[in-house]
Structure 1
Amino acid sequence: MADKTKLTNMLADKVTDYKRFAFILLALSVFLFIGLIVPNEGVSQYQQIALIGLSVCSLAFAALFHKKAMKAQEQLYSEE
């Protein structure tokens, strides 16, 4: 009984953490994208490409963490 409760708590904590990671990465990608939109004369082409790449990577990792959160949540519901 204690092991099942411990597993349930661990899965619930994982779901919460993964959702937080996904939200933070999503917010980061929004800020990076805003940095692309705001006109700035001193930004080189390389810096713009770097911002685009970082924004896309951040979105990809946010999607990955969201998928992991949903997988852990399904496990949590199957355990209960």
Structure 2
Amino acid sequence: MSKEMVKNIQEKIADFKRFSLVLLSLSAFLYIGSIVPFDGKEATDQLVLLSASYTLIGVAILFYRKVAIWKKQLNEER
């Protein structure tokens, strides 16, 4: 593997880690919004917030798995 490819993969790893951290932060924010009571909040609003929160957590997990694959690939090449 060339140095350029290694650098590209390392940059992707850093980006995907940042993306997953942002997604986890956003999912925590949405989850808190789903459990904090306020006037006019309906059950469907809570369901939407919880669904979005769980979806974002799932995407973050997929990003972390991709990072693990790339790290393994880099370790095998060295």
TM-score class normalised by the smaller sequence:
over 0.9
Q: How far off its partner does 1:62 sit?
A: 0.5
Match of 1:43 among 24, 41, 44: 41
Match of 1:5 in 2: 3
Query: Which residues of structure 1 form unaligned runs of 5+?
Result: none
Unaligned 5+ runs, structure 2: none
8 Å CA contact 2:35, 2:46 repeated in 1: no
Q: Distance in 1 between matches of 2:47 and 2:16?
A: 28
| Aligned-CA RMSD value | 1.1
Is the 8 Å Cα contact of residues 26 and 62 (structure 1) preserved in structure 2?
A: yes
Aligned residues: 78
Identity of aligned residues (%): 35
TM-score, length basis structure 2:
0.92
Instruction: Give the ranges of 4+ consecutive aligned residues of structure 1 lying more than 3 Å apart after TM superposition.
Output: none
